Each structure stands twice: as C-alpha cells, then as structure tokens.
Structure 1
C-alpha cells in the first residue's frame, strides 16, 4: 500500500508547472524587495539585525551588498523558472533565502519560513525533466513522469500548515472577534472596502471563514467533487488577503500550490502545450527508498511536533511568545509595548538609561518593546559592546506589553539582569511574568 502511494510513477506536469510559477514568484520577491525598499529598511539601515538566536554570526553584507544579494536571488528565480542549471540554481536560492530568513526576524513572517522549507524540498525534486532548458540541452533527462511521493510531500506539508493555522485561531480573542476588530481598525481608509472592514457582521464573516478555510481547503482540493469550488474560493480568499494585508508573494504562492491537486489532463490542457500524458502508474521501488522514508519521516515528525511545543511551556504562548515561531500561528494577535533599559556599569559603578534611538530603527524599537527574545538579544548586544571596551555591565528593563485589546501589563521582572541570564529554546523563562490569561475577561492591569 505504501509503495503504491509513494512509488507509483505519475505524470509530472504539476511539478513542472509549479517550478515555473515558483521561479517567477521568487524572482518577483527578490527584485521586489529591492524596489519596495524592504532591503534598505530591513538589512541596510539597521546598525545590526536581530538574528534567530544561535545565528548571530549571520549578518548582512556591508554597505550596499544586500542589494546585490537580492538581485542574485531574483536572477536565480528566473533560472529556476526556465529550468536552466536548475539544481544549482535551486540549491543556491535555498541557501541564500535561508540565510536572509535566519539573519533577521524584525520582519518575521510565517510565509518566509514556508518559502525556506519549500526551497529546500525543491532542491530534491526532478522539476527540470520537462519544459526546461536543461531537458532541451540534455535530452537524456527528459521524461513525463515523476514519483508520486513528490506530490504527497507537498500536500502533507500544506495540510500541516493550514491545519495548524486553523487550530491556532481557536482562542478567545479570535472566537469573539476582538482581534479581527483590532486588525481592521488601521484599514478604514482602504479604497472601496475600508468601511466594510469596520462592520461587525463582516468581521464575523472574516473570523469564521478564516477558521473554516484553513481547516477544509486541503481536503476540499483533494476531493474531486469539491475541487473546482475550493479552487474558486481559494482564489477569492488569497486575493482578498493580498489586497487587505499586503503580504507579498504568499497568496500567489498558495495559489500556485493548487496545481498539485488537479489532474494531469487538466494541467496539460490548460497550461502546457504537450498533451502527452504519462498514465502507466507502474510501481518502481528506487534504490534510495529506505533513506527517503527515514529522512522524510524524520522531517514530518519535526514539522508535526514543532507547532505543539508551546503546550509544554508554562503560560500562554500569546503572552510569552515561547513556541510561537515555526508553528504556523499566522496573524493571531496584535502586540504592543513600552520599555526602558537601565544599564549598570559594574566596572565604573555608573548607571544610565539607554537611548534606544542610538541603536535601533523604529521598527526594531517596536519589536524590542514587546518581544522577550528581542529584549534579551538587545541586552546581549549592549554587553558585547561594553565588553569590547573591557567593561562589565548589567542590563535591567521595565517593560509593559499589551496583547490585542487587553490592558498593558508588566511583562518582565525588572530585577532580572538580562545581560547575564541564558536563553533557552525549549524551556520557559521565569523572568517573563505570568499573564493571567486563564480568564476570558479583560483583567485589570497589574501594578
């Protein structure tokens, strides 16, 4: 049964078409990041970036080097779409995009994470075996077939993404539409639909449809009787998100994934000129079967487990942020805060308040004021700066954080020396004060 599911040979039209869409989209992402100023704001203007903890060595190229970096990624996207030197181009893009993803998280986005995962996966797919310059230049690799596991790897990855996104919405502020209201307040001036987005009934539609779409879209695309309807709904859903939330290429990447759900006949009739279909459905066990099952099984166990890890941490992930990233918790909360850092120089005995403007951009200051890992990393940055001068310091912070429409509450223990406490990836940090989110009521603020 498993061999038939994974190792049947099927038509590769969906993979080939996805490669073309994928290459064009990541090319737009690379060149668009330059054109919109994202590269300048995120990677050039900051004096330093907030990396994923453990990747502090990964910093942007000096000067205007990141413009060249993104231009290369955009060019690699075109090579991928054309299927020219595909394997090299795909590996290079996967490494470069993963580098960008890990070197900064001020602009963290679950979609960037998904793009990193898919880029790595695509390195191993034979997406250049048809409709590519590689196949034209080297006819020996030309084929109309692929293993069925290619399709099911993509489907399972998407199933995990959407299902976890749906389950994450099952919390108080989403279910009573409080967060939807918070999310839409800043969009009242949108052309045509700004007023509609403020209507309570429409916010309820958004909240309910968000849960149902994420939960049902993959099963609906897999089942032939609902496939076309699901595709139409998917177009509307993702274009709405693109217009309202302006989240880059993701809505279009999500639509590109749908090619894996349609029949080869539909793919080749609508998009590809070659009407020859591979329909032998023969089962051929590859020599790397055991390695594929081991590596693939391990990968999906990790993908299944990562979004669950916050349940094993103390307190609510909405408050602590511990276990939030890499968990498909998309657009779930509004987070704001205020913070004041006090630096105590243990070498000189002097104490002073830190001027955040001297170190951080406006966006970075917003992150530092409300996210615990940013607070800790900024304290580590100060510690390193003073250590270079031969001085030892302690860093204390007074922080107040607000989640959605809840009151501002004291977030971290002001007696904790953030410069001299360790960071734990899989353990709660006791210097994050309790949230008291157990009640559905909006609690009075803690003094």
Structure 2
C-alpha cells in the first residue's frame, strides 16, 4: 500500500487541473451573480430552506451575498494563479460549504460533488509548479507528487459514476418514462427542442446514460480505449451542458481527463517548459499510518452513504429520505399539490396558508413535493406565529405525482407536522406509504 500511495509520479496533471479548477470555480461564482441565480436563490427569499441542523445558517442580509460571491470569485482566481493557494482554496471551500448548507431549493449532486472536491483540493500540493507561490518561494517548487494525489480523484469519480449508473436501473427510467418527461420540459428549446422529443433521443438518454456512467472510468483507464472514451465524454458532457444547464459540472468532468492521460502527453500539451519526472521514488512520510486510515475510512463512507436509503422504509423516489449525497442524478419528475392549514390551539381558529406570501416560486415547487421541505415550513410557520404570541398546530394536505403517475397523498393530514421531530437516518411515519391505492 505504501508503494501504491506514496510512489512519486509527475505532477503535470495536478498542476493543469488546478488552473482549470480555479478558472471554473471563478466562473461558477460570477455566473451565479450574472445569471440571476444568486438573486433568485439567496437574496429574494424571506428565508432559505437550509440543510436540517443548520438552522442558524442563513444568507447575509440585503445585498451582502453579492459581496460574498465576489470574494468566492477572488478565491477562485487565487487558486487558478496559485497565489496563496492554501488560503485561497480553504477560503473558497468554507464559503462554498456555507452556501451549500444554507439552501437546498436549488440542490443537485453537482453542488455536493464540488464541496467534496474543494476539501480534497485543500490538501493537495497543487501549487508547487506554474504558480505565484512557487515563483515567490522557490523552495516549494516540485515536479512530482505522491501517487495518491491522482488516485483520490479516480476512485471518487468511479464511485460517483457507478452509483449514477446503478440508480438509473429502475422501471421508470428503463421504460423511458423519465427521459420523456425530462425532454418534454425542453420542448421550447430553439433548434433542438423538437429533436429532443424523438423516441431515439429518449433511448439514447436512458441507455446511453447507463452505459456511459457505468463504463467511462474503466474505459479512460485502459489505454486502448482512452481516446474514444475521452471524445465520448466531450459529446456527453456538452450535451448535458446544453440540455440540462448544470453549470460548470460538465466542464469540470472534462477537466478530470488530465489524470487519465500519460503525464508526458499532459506536459507536452500544457507545460512544455516543465521537466518530466520519471524517477518513481517512494517517499513514505511520517504520517503514513494515519493517512492510510483516513484514506480508507473516507472511501468507505463514500461507498456506504449512497446506500442508506436501502435501510430506510419505502421508496426513496417517494419519500426523498436518503436521496441527497447519493449520486441520484435527474432520476425522477415530481409534481405536487400541497396546502398548509394552521390551527390556533387556544381558539381552534383555522387559517389556510397562502404559500406565495412566504415563499418564492422555486421554494413553492420544493415545498409542494418534498417532505423535508414541508416539515421545515411547518416549523417555520410555528415560529412565525409564536413571535405573535400564538401557539399553533400545522396540518398538511399533499398529493404527489411521481414520474407522471396518478397522484397519491404523501403526508398524513391528521399529524401536526410542526410538533414532529426529524431523524436523518430513519423513516418518518407521517409520510404515507407509496403503495397506497388512493388516487386524486
């Protein structure tokens, strides 16, 4: 294991990746401002639906979130240039984690992946060549890195893509129900909107997605298929970028290709003046034992965490319990019709809540379909009324359609949701079973 982890290899791939990564996180930061995502997601809402347990974490007031994102962008430039790299990378990591945990209305697995990747980049020696840090402090300059610096990316990507492939192997994906619904929402796209409605495209998305996710890492690792796999990656990720508009993730995925090609190729393309390291020296650090334990435990967690929904009752597509942080990407389409009723405990007066008075359109869509959002909003209503000196109960009527199927009641309408507790690893009995025959 020492030989595998601590053998030194050429670091051209890591240096090039750092530059690309810094540029992409800069674009992610300023893109959130100029596309209006930041305004819609973190400034306009009265409050955000943070990850449960992070209730104290809310956006900065007024226009200060713009400053927050500008600082993130500056950290991205610092990473790209290798200027005070450790500080820049840590700063971006903390700020990104903040914006990740303070809202989940715009959640996707790509945001989670970027948070993981940020943490990994913090511990990598990515600034030891072609950086301002190495220019100002030549003592840190190096043309090699431990082998684990490469394999930590490859193993993480293999886990991500493997789970993404396996998750698609369920009836609604295989019979094209989900791809058809996803593409129907893209019908208005100029030039390609009609093309996306063809059955051939639905088959390509459904079965091409399974094959790509399941095979791409092995094919990139095998020299004989590497170039073909890379060109397939270009098509796949550009398609996702255009059709699904998932920010920097497709381009970040392409940037990882530098870890699969020979260092000589990467050096020749991007770092022509850099010497090629070929000594393959094994340098076992004093902290090797601790590092190996952490390395193994980290990947055990990454393997186990996406499996947790299997030990939670009912279907994750219905309950959403165990959905996040599990590489379950674009697997379902949900529509909901949900209403909240507040009952004054002292007078029994009933008030029907108008969601638009409290929530943005994006938040309403989430509250109308996802149980944890409903629970959080019930708690929020209880807090709002408590500030007025009124103790209330909150009842929810929610009918949900998953993947175009007939609607069913999701929440027990007799349960005071504001009085329930949340458990991250346990099924909540107030979420009604998915196999109920009741239709609406």
Q: TM-score range, shorter-chain basis?
A: over 0.9
Which residue of structure 1 lines up, in the alignment, with residue 39 of structure 2?
40
Closer, same or farther: CA 179–354 of 1 in aligned 2, 3 Å: same
TM-superposed deviation, 1:186: 1.8
Root-mean-square deviation (Å) = 1.1
Q: What is the CA–CA distance in structure 1 between the aligned matches of 2:36 and 2:112, rounded to whole Å? A: 21
Q: What is the CA–CA distance in structure 2 between the aligned matches of 1:445 and 1:194, rounded to whole Å? A: 36
**Contact persistence 1:188–1:194 (CA under 8 A):** yes
Q: Residues 17-166 of structure 1: matches in 2 within 5 Å?
A: 17-166=16-165
Q: Residues 5-404 of structure 1: matches in 2 within 5 Å?
A: 5-404=4-403
**Contact persistence 2:336–2:368 (CA under 8 A):** yes
**Contact persistence 2:406–2:439 (CA under 8 A):** no
1:291-317 Cα shifts (integer Å, max 9, x gaps): 211222221111111100000011110
TM-superposed deviation, 1:405: 1.3
TM-superposed deviation, 1:275: 4.3
**Contact persistence 2:340–2:397 (CA under 8 A):** yes
- Secondary structure at the aligned position of 2:395 is classed as strand
Q: What is the CA–CA distance in structure 1 between the aligned matches of 2:293 and 2:346, rounded to whole Å? A: 54
- Secondary structure at the aligned position of 2:335 is classed as strand
- Decide which moves more: 283-292 or 76-85: 283-292
Any runs of at least 4 consecutive aligned residues in structure 1 with deviations exceeding 6 A, and if so which?
Answer: none
- Secondary structure at the aligned position of 2:207 is classed as helix
Q: What is the CA–CA distance in structure 2 between the aligned matches of 1:206 and 1:421, rounded to whole Å? A: 40
**Contact persistence 1:238–1:251 (CA under 8 A):** yes
Structure 1: runs of 5+ lacking an equivalent: 438-443
TM value normalised by structure 2: 0.98
TM-superposed deviation, 1:390: 2.8
Which residue of structure 2 lines up, in the alignment, with residue 440 of structure 1?
none
1:143-163 Cα shifts (integer Å, max 9, x gaps): 000000011111111011000
Which residue of structure 2 lines up, in the alignment, with residue 441 of structure 1?
none
Q: What is the CA–CA distance in structure 1 between the aligned matches of 2:274 and 2:389, rounded to whole Å? A: 72
- Decide which moves more: 200-209 or 168-177: 200-209
- Secondary structure at the aligned position of 1:414 is classed as coil
Q: What is the CA–CA distance in structure 1 between the aligned matches of 2:163 and 2:393, rounded to whole Å? A: 40
Q: What is the CA–CA distance in structure 2 between the aligned matches of 1:275 and 1:227, rounded to whole Å? A: 24
Q: What is the CA–CA distance in structure 1 between the aligned matches of 2:203 and 2:335, rounded to whole Å? A: 24
TM value normalised by structure 1: 0.97
The aligned length equals 440
Structure 2: runs of 5+ lacking an equivalent: none
**Contact persistence 1:341–1:353 (CA under 8 A):** yes
TM-superposed deviation, 1:349: 3.0
TM-superposed deviation, 1:368: 0.4
**Contact persistence 1:407–1:445 (CA under 8 A):** no
- Secondary structure at the aligned position of 2:394 is classed as strand
